[in-house]
Amino acid sequence: MAMEEISDESVHLMVTSPPYFNAPFDYKGVFKDYGQYLGVLRKVAREIFRILQNGRIAVLNIDDMLIAGEKFPIVADATKIFQEAGFRYRDRIIWKKPEGYLRISRRSGVILQNPYPMYFYPDNLLESIIIFQKGKFNYRSISKEIRRDSKIDIKEFSDNKWYMTLWEMNNVMPGSPLEKDIAAFPEEIPYRAIKLFSYKGETILDPFLGSGTTMKVARALDRNSIGIEIKKPLIPIIKKKLGFSGQQKLDNNQDVFEIIIRKKGKYGPIG
């Protein structure tokens, strides 16, 4: 995916959740094969490296994908791809969903029907959040005022256990009206990423915008944002999520909003 609208070193943080490789229901058959899918990730990684300022962070919510009994190691492959694009692999956070949550099926039920060896299929409650950095951050490049205005609330940080590599967060319920048919992530993911890795007034990019969750949170936290999406029918949903009425222009004087909708076939899907 090329992002030629965005100039070099102009973005301060990237937060995204790429399409899940041919996930049953959401992305069934979208990608020709796994190689094509990895090709898309490779192009995105290179572009993100180009447009991020030096020292800055890329956060991906991604997970291995089980298709017809075979698990595709997407987290490992994406990690390698981002390293090859020049990033330093900083960390992996595990997102644990509530135990009552199962979006697709209760696979573990098989062993209840057949309580014998070889019938074990665990239910998956986890996703990964992988964090990469481009070069070294210059802490002195931020003014005293901006540092003060962007201070992290240590009570919130401690009470909600942001300090661990295990984040327990609720998922978006399937069927919630604004995210229908979109594999949206909870606001808590961009919320934590934006608070932890960007300063007020900076620019956040989500190259797989979906329903617009990242831009909504960026706006609420006084950050500018850019979102890229290939599905044009999502525009009204994104606008609604961002709180725009039909008439309002997206770029006003207070905020820089930019939603780039890809023309299908011109840039994506590619690979």
Ligand X SMILES: C[S@@+](CC[C@H](N)C(=O)[O-])C[C@H]1O[C@@H](n2cnc3c(N)ncnc32)[C@H](O)[C@@H]1O
Tokens, residue 44: 């995105």
Residues 95-114, one symbol each (x = binds ligand X by CB under 6 A, - = not), give --------------------
b/e burial code for range 18-38 (CB count within 10 A of at least 16 → b): bbbbbbeeebeeebeebeebb
**Smallest distance, Å, CB 196 to ligand X?**
18
Give yes or no for residue 40 binding ligand X (CB under 6 A): yes
Cβ proximity to ligand X, 150 vs 225, nearer residue: 225
Task: Kindly tell me which residue out of 14, 19, 49, 224 binds ligand X, with binding defined by CB under 6 A.
Answer: 19
Cα 239 to Cα 251: distance, rounded to the nearest angstrom = 12
Cα 2 to Cα 58: distance, rounded to the nearest angstrom = 17
Cα 50 to Cα 7: distance, rounded to the nearest angstrom = 8
Task: Kindly tell me which residue out of 77, 127, 202, 229 binds ligand X, with binding defined by CB under 6 A.
Answer: 229
**Smallest distance, Å, CB 102 to ligand X?**
18
Whether residue 261 contacts residue 22, with contact meaning beta carbons closer than 8 Å, is answered with: no
Distance of CA 137 to the CA centre of its chain: 22
Task: Kindly tell me which residue out of 218, 230, 242, 259 binds ligand X, with binding defined by CB under 6 A.
Answer: 230
Total residues contacting ligand X by CB under 6 A comes to 18
Cα 65 to Cα 53: distance, rounded to the nearest angstrom = 31
Please give the residues from 189 up to 228 whose contact with ligand X meets the rule CB under 6 A: 208, 210-211, 213
Cα 248 to Cα 243: distance, rounded to the nearest angstrom = 10
**Smallest distance, Å, CB 231 to ligand X?**
4
Which positions ≥6 away from 122 have C-beta within 8 Å? Answer: 107, 108
**Smallest distance, Å, CB 186 to ligand X?**
8
Cβ proximity to ligand X, 17 vs 198, nearer residue: 17
Cβ proximity to ligand X, 213 vs 225, nearer residue: 213
Cβ proximity to ligand X, 202 vs 229, nearer residue: 229
Give φ, ψ of 33 to 5 degrees.
-160, 180
Give yes or no for residue 183 binding ligand X (CB under 6 A): yes
Give φ, ψ of 41 to 5 degrees.
-60, -40
Give yes or no for residue 268 binding ligand X (CB under 6 A): yes
SS3 210: coil
Give yes or no for residue 256 binding ligand X (CB under 6 A): no
In one-letter notation, the amino acid at residue 95 is W
**Smallest distance, Å, CB 40 to ligand X?**
5
Q: Which parts of this chain interact with ligand X (CB under 6 A)? A: 1, 17, 19, 30, 40, 182-185, 208, 210-211, 213, 229-231, 268-269
